[in-house]
C-alpha cells in the first residue's frame, strides 16, 4: 500500500518542473518584449545591427548544441554560413537553375546545410578536441576556395547579389522582424532540445561519455541529428546574411566571424541557451561601441575569452545562476527508502542468468582475467572480491562491452552479448556504476538521474525539437520516475541542486539512482561503498537487498568485507585474474586460501 509520502512524489516532481520552467522562461520573455518593441526606440543604423545579431543567433543557436552541449570544438562553422549564403543567392539569381523564389531558395539552402553539417560532423565520431577543430577549419577553407574558383556560378571574387525578400519583409524593419521571428523560433527549438532527453544525452556525452554509453545513448545517432539541425539553421542564417549584405563575396566570410560564433558560446556558458544568446548580442554590438578598435577585433575577442575563462569559467550562465549560490545544509544524511524499490522497478521479468564462461583477457604480457567462470542470477546479490589488480573492474568492463574477451563468452540467459556494443547493454537492461562517479556536474541531480532513462523515451529528435505531445509525455514520465528513484536512494530533497555541489557519498547514490532508471535486470556496481561512512554502508546494504528482492541480479565489486558478507547471497574471489574460490559468504569466510590471500587473519 502506498504511503502519503510516496503518493506526493509525482506531484512534487511536477511542481519542481513547473517552477523551474517558469523561472527559466522569464529572461526569454523579457528579451522577446525588447525585440518586438525595438523599432520604437532604435534608429535605422541600430536596426541593421539588431538584424545582424538575430542572424548570428540563428547560426549560434544550432552551433550551441554542437559546442556548448555536445562539447565538440567546431571552430569553422562559418563554412555553413558561406554555403547557405551562396546557395540562397545563386538559386535566387538563377545562375545555376531557373530563378527560385527567395523562400524556396532559403528552404533548399537549409537542406544543403543539413547534408553538409552531417558531412562536417562525421569526423567528430573519431576525432576529438583540436583535431576535429582543424577539420572544420579545413572545410571552411575549401568552401571559400570553391566560391572563388566557380566564377560562372558564384561570381568568384566579384561576388553575387543577395536575395531580396518580397513584402512585407523587403523594408529594413520588415526584414528585421522576419529575422527576429526566425531567431525566436530557433531559440524555442533549441530550448526544447536542451530540456529533452536528447539535450541531457548531449551533456552526458560531453562530460561523462562512458556513463552515457552505459545509459544506452548512441553517440553516432545523436550527434548525426544534431549536426544536421545545426547545419540547416547555419545555412538559413547564411541566406539571411546574404540578404542583409545585399551583395556577397568570399571576403565576407572571415575567420574572425567564425571565432565570434565560437567565443559567443564559450563566454555564454556551456550547456546554456540564455548565456550564448546574450554573448551573441554582446559580441555583435561591442564593435559598434569600439569602432576605432575594429582592426583589433580578434585580439579583443581573445582577451575577452581569456578574462571569462579565468574569472568566470561558467560564463554568463554562471553569473545568472542565482539559485545555485544558496548554501546547502552542511550535515546531510542519506536515508534510502528500500520500500520504494518495488514500486520503482515494477514487475521485472525473470532474466535468467548473466554468465561468463572461461573468459580470458590480457593487456600485453599482463593477464587481467584468466579462464573466469561466473554466474549472476536474478534476485541475488553476487559479490566479487579480491586484492587490487585481481581483475574485478576488468570483469565488469568485459560484461559492459568496454573490453572484448580474447577467449570465452559472455551471455545473457544463453544468448551471447555483442562485443563492444556498449550502449546496447542498456537496452538489455544491464546497468552499472563506476569506481569514480561519472556525473554531469553542471546539470541538476534530477537531470543526472533522468539521463539513466534515456532509452525509455519514445519521442524522436524532431518531436523534441517541436515539443510535440509524445515528447512532453516522455518528459513527464522521466521526471516522475527520476523523482521516485531519488526518493528510493534518499536524495529527493537535493533534486534541484547542481551535481557538482554534492558530497562524494551523495554522488555514489546519485549514480545508483541513475542506474535504477533502467529498471535493470542486472545491476553492476563498482565499489559503491568507497568513501561512505559506516552508517551509509549499512543503508547501502539494505538498499541492495531490496533491489535483489525486486528481481534484479546484482554484481557487487567491493573492498568492504562487512558489506559483502552481510549482503551477498554468493561470493566469488579473484586473485591475479583467476578464480580463487566461490561459494556462500560463510564458506568464503572460512576458506583458508582466501583468508591468507585477501581477508587476512
Residues 94-111: tens digit of each pLDDT: 888 889 999 999 999 999
Average pLDDT over residues 183-211: 94
- Please confirm whether the linkage preceding 303 is cis (ω < 30° from 0): no
What is the per-residue pLDDT for 16?
54
pLDDT tops 60 at residue 19 = no
What is the per-residue pLDDT for 9?
58
Nearest to 276 by CA among 291, 289, 290, 262: 262
Is 53 in contact with 285 (CB distance < 8 Å)?
yes
Average pLDDT over residues 434-444: 92
Q: What are phi and psi of 353, to 5 degrees?
A: -140, 150
What percent of the chain is modeled with pLDDT above 70? 94
**Which range among 30-34, 99-103, 389-393 shows the weakest confidence by mean pLDDT?**
389-393
What is the per-residue pLDDT for 2?
46
Place of cell 522569464: 26
Q: For residues 125 and 222, what is the distance between their CA atoms, to the nearest angstrom?
A: 11
Residue 182: band (very low, low, confident or very high) from pLDDT cuts 50, 70, 90: very high
Pairing of strands 247-248, 353-363: unpaired
Structural element, H or E, at residue 353: strand 353-363
What is the per-residue pLDDT for 13?
54
Count, residues in the chain: 601
What is the per-residue pLDDT for 22?
63
What is the per-residue pLDDT for 539?
94
pLDDT tops 80 at residue 304 = no
pTM, entire model: 0.89
Q: For residues 9 and 303, what is the distance between their CA atoms, to the nearest angstrom?
A: 48
Average pLDDT over residues 190-218: 94
**DSSP readout, 416-485?**
EPPTT-TTHHHHTTEEE--SS----TTSBHHHHHHHTTGGG----HHHHHTT-HHHHHHHHHHHHHHHHH
Average pLDDT over residues 366-377: 90
Average pLDDT over residues 464-470: 94
pLDDT tops 90 at residue 226 = yes
What is the per-residue pLDDT for 129?
73
What is the per-residue pLDDT for 6?
43
Average pLDDT over residues 135-164: 89
Residue 15: band (very low, low, confident or very high) from pLDDT cuts 50, 70, 90: low
Question: Mean of the per-residue pLDDT values for the chain?
Answer: 88
pLDDT tops 80 at residue 128 = no
Residue 292: band (very low, low, confident or very high) from pLDDT cuts 50, 70, 90: low
Residue 341: band (very low, low, confident or very high) from pLDDT cuts 50, 70, 90: very high
pLDDT tops 90 at residue 113 = yes
What is the per-residue pLDDT for 327?
81
CATH topology (fold) of 340-599: Rossmann fold (3.40.50)
Encode pLDDT of 43-96 as tens digits: 788 889 999 999 999 999 999 999 999 999 888 899 999 999 999 999 999 888
pLDDT tops 60 at residue 190 = yes
What is the per-residue pLDDT for 552?
93
Encode pLDDT of 477-525 as tens digits: 999 999 999 999 999 999 999 999 999 999 999 999 999 999 999 999 9
| Three-state secondary-structure class, residue 321 | coil
Q: For residues 565 and 567, what is the distance between their CA atoms, to the nearest angstrom?
A: 6
Burial of 405 (0-12, 13-18, 19+ CB in 10 A): buried
Average pLDDT over residues 364-382: 89
| Three-state secondary-structure class, residue 558 | coil
> Residue 250, Cα to own-chain centre: how many angstroms?
35
**β-strand partners of 354:** 376, 412
What is the per-residue pLDDT for 8?
53
pLDDT tops 90 at residue 316 = no
What is the per-residue pLDDT for 599?
62
Neighbouring CB atoms inside 10 A of 195's CB total 20
190 versus 123: the higher-pLDDT residue is 190
Q: For residues 279 and 283, what is the distance between their CA atoms, to the nearest angstrom?
A: 6
Eight-class DSSP state of 393:
H
Domain boundaries, the chain: 25-253, 340-599
Eight-class DSSP state of 597:
I
**Which range among 6-20, 486-500, 565-579 shows the weakest confidence by mean pLDDT?**
6-20
For 215, the grid coordinates are: 545509459
What percent of the chain is modeled with pLDDT above 90? 56
Compute the Cα dihedral for 593, 595, 598, 601 and give only its sign: negative
What is the per-residue pLDDT for 291?
61
**CB under 8 Å to 292, separation ≥6 — which residues?**
none
The most confident of 41-45, 419-423, 563-567, by mean pLDDT: 563-567
Residue 159: band (very low, low, confident or very high) from pLDDT cuts 50, 70, 90: confident
Residue 328: band (very low, low, confident or very high) from pLDDT cuts 50, 70, 90: confident
551-582 burial, b at 16+ Cβ within 10 Å, e below that, comes to: bbbbbbbbebbebbbebbbbbbbbbbbbbbbb
3-state secondary structure 73-101: CCCCCHHHHHHHHHHHHHHHHCCCCCCCC
What is the per-residue pLDDT for 320?
81
Amino acid at each position: 500500500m502506498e504511503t502519503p509520502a510516496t503518493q506526493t512524489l509525482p506531484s512534487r516532481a511536477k511542481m519542481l518542473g513547473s517552477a523551474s520552467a517558469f523561472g527559466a522562461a522569464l529572461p526569454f520573455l523579457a528579451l522577446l518584449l525588447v525585440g518586438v518593441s525595438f523599432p520604437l526606440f532604435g534608429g535605422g543604423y541600430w536596426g541593421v545591427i539588431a538584424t545582424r545579431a538575430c542572424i548570428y543567433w540563428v547560426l549560434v543557436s544550432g552551433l550551441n548544441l554542437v559546442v556548448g552541449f555536445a562539447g565538440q570544438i567546431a571552430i569553422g562553422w562559418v563554412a555553413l554560413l558561406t554555403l547557405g549564403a551562396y546557395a540562397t543567392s545563386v538559386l535566387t539569381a538563377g545562375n545555376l537553375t531557373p530563378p527560385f523564389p527567395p523562400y524556396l531558395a532559403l528552404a533548399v539552402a537549409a537542406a544543403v546545410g543539413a547534408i553538409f553539417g552531417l558531412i562536417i560532423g562525421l569526423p567528430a565520431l573519431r576525432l576529438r578536441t583540436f583535431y576535429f577543430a582543424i577539420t572544420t577549419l579545413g572545410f571552411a577553407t575549401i568552401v571559400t576556395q570553391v566560391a572563388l574558383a566557380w566564377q560562372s556560378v558564384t561570381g568568384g571574387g566579384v561576388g553575387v547579389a543577395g536575395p531580396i525578400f518580397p513584402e512585407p519583409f523587403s523594408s529594413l524593419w520588415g526584414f528585421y522582424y522576419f529575422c527576429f521571428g526566425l531567431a525566436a523560433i530557433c531559440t524555442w527549438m533549441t530550448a526544447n532540445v536542451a530540456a529533452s532527453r536528447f539535450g541531457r544525452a548531449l551533456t552526458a556525452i560531453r562530460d561523462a561519455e562512458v556513463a552515457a554509453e552505459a545509459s544506452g545513448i548512441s553517440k553516432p545517432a545523436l550527434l548525426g541529428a544534431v549536426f544536421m539541425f545545426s547545419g540547416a539553421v547555419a545555412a538559413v542564417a547564411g541566406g539571411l546574411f546574404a540578404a542583409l549584405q545585399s551583395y556577397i563575396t568570399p571576403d565576407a566570410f572571415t575567420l574572425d566571424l567564425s571565432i565570434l560564433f565560437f567565443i559567443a558560446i564559450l563566454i555564454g556558458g556551456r550547456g546554456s541557451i540564455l548565456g550564448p544568446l546574450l554573448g551573441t548580442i554582446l559580441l555583435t554590438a561591442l564593435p559598434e561601441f569600439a569602432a576605432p578598435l575594429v582592426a583589433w577585433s580578434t585580439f579583443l575577442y581573445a582577451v575577452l575569452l581569456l578574462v571569462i575563462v579565468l574569472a568566470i569559467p561558467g560564463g554568463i550562465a554562471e553569473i545568472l545562476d542565482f539559485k545555485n549560490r544558496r548554501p546547502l545544509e552542511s550535515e546531510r544524511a542519506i536515508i534510502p527508502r528500500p520500500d520504494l524499490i518495488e514500486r520503482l522497478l515494477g514487475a521485472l521479468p525473470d532474466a535468467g542468468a548473466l554468465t561468463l564462461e572461461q573468459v580470458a583477457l590480457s593487456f600485453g604480457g599482463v593477464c587481467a582475467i584468466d579462464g573466469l567462470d561466473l554466474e549472476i542470477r536474478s534476485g541475488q546479490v553476487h559479490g566479487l572480491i579480491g586484492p587490487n589488480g585481481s581483475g574485478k573492474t576488468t570483469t565488469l568492463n568485459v560484461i559492459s562491452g568496454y573490453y572484448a574477451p580474447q577467449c570465452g563468452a559472455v551471455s545473457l540467459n544463453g544468448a551471447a552479448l555483442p562485443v563492444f556494443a556498449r550502449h546496447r547493454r542498456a537496452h538489455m537492461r544491464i546497468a552499472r556504476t563506476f569506481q569514480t562517479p561519472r556525473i554531469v556536474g553542471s546539470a541538476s541531480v534530477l537531470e543526472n538521474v533522468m539521463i539513466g532513462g534515456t532509452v525509455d523515451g519514445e519521442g524522436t529528435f524532431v518531436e523534441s525539437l517541436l515539443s510535440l505531445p509524445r515528447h512532453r509525455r516522455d518528459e513527464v514520465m522521466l521526471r516522475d520516475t527520476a523523482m521516485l528513484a531519488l526518493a528510493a536512494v534518499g536524495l529527493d530533497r537535493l533534486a534541484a541542486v547542481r551535481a557538482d555541489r554534492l558530497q562524494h557519498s551523495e554522488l555514489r547514490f546519485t549514480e545508483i539512482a541513475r542506474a535504477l532508471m533502467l529498471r535493470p535486470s542486472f545491476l553492476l556496481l563498482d565499489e559503491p561503498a568507497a568513501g561512505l561512512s559506516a552508517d551509509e554502508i549499512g543503508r547501502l546494504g539494505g538498499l541492495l537487498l531490496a533491489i535483489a528482492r525486486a528481481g534484479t541480479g546484482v554484481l557487487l565489486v567491493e573492498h568492504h568485507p562487512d558489506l559483502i558478507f552481510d549482503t551477498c547471497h554468493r561470493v566469488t574471489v579473484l586473485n591475479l585474474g583467476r578464480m580463487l574460490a566461490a561459494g556462500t559468504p560463510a564458506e568464503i569466510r572460512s576458506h583458508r586460501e582466501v583468508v591468507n590471500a585477501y581477508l587476512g587473519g
